[in-house]
Amino acid sequence: MTVSVQEADFDAGTEIAALSAGRDDVGAVASFVGLVRADKAAGASAGTDAVQAMTLEHYPGMTEKALQEIVTEAQGRWELQGVRVIHRVGRLLPGERIVFVAVASSHRGDAFAACEFIMDYLKTRAPFWKKEETPAGGRWVDARESDDSAAGRWATN
């Protein structure tokens, strides 16, 4: 199982260990955990307008397909021995884990590059939307240009 979209939390240590369990050819596992930040509200000044919770909506069916395509694209670009992507949906509180990506490879350069690539592509291509709850009410998070430019770095000419 490479890709999961779920309400449940995950344990990064268990997932990382699973990528090298029972084998002796994995040299490197790079991974990433994204979390809900209380101060993330767009344009919020410090201490005011904090995020109290976040709800993640997605497009069931397309989400899993899009994540799998991103993983397949990474597998074509680097020599990978295993990939694991978990994205949570539903209502999450500040400090809670949202997303997990881990990549196993013989070499650390490939593992790091593929892990960052998958996160960058996930941010711009996987159909998830965040709605923040703040004292001022609920609001949908705007897409950030910095995410588009992060994904754009990986374009092949």
Partner 1 sequence: MTVKVLFFAGLREALGTGSESLALPGGVATVGGLRDLLAARGEPWSALATTKNLRVALNQQMVGLDAPLKGGDEVAFFPPVTGG
On the 0-12 / 13-18 / 19+ scale of CB atoms within 10 A, 156 is: exposed
- Residue count, binding to its own copies (CB under 8 A): 38
Stretch that binds its own copies, among 25-33, 61-69, 70-78, 126-134 (CB under 8 A): 25-33
Interaction of residue 108 with its own copies, rule CB under 8 A: yes
Q: 92 is in the binding site of which of partner 1, its own copies, none (Cβ under 5 to 8 A by kind)?
A: none
Residue 47 per-residue DSSP state:
T
The answer to the question of residue 28 lying near its own copies (CB under 8 A) is yes
Residue 36 in the binding site for its own copies (CB under 8 A): yes
Find where tokens 């490197």 sit.
Answer: 28
User: What whole-number distance in Å separates Cα of residue 34 and Cα of residue 1?
Assistant: 20
Cβ proximity to its own copies, 27 vs 127, nearer residue: 27
CB of residue 102 vs partner 1: minimum separation in angstroms?
Answer: 14
Examine residue 128 and tell whether it contacts partner 1 (CB under 8 A): yes
Q: Pairing mode, if any, of strands 82-88 and 97-105?
A: antiparallel
E-assigned strand segments in 1-142: 3-6, 28-35, 53-58, 82-88, 90-92, 97-105, 128-134, 137-140
Q: Of 4, 20, 68, 124, which lies in the binding site for its own copies, with binding defined by CB under 8 A?
A: 20
Asked if 77 interacts with partner 1 (CB under 8 A), we say no
Question: Which residue in 6, 7, 35, 125 binds its own copies (CB under 8 A)?
Answer: 35
In the list its own copies, partner 1, none, the entry touching 44 (Cβ below 5 to 8 angstroms by class) is none
Residue 77 burial (10 A CB sphere; 0-12, 13-18, 19+): middle
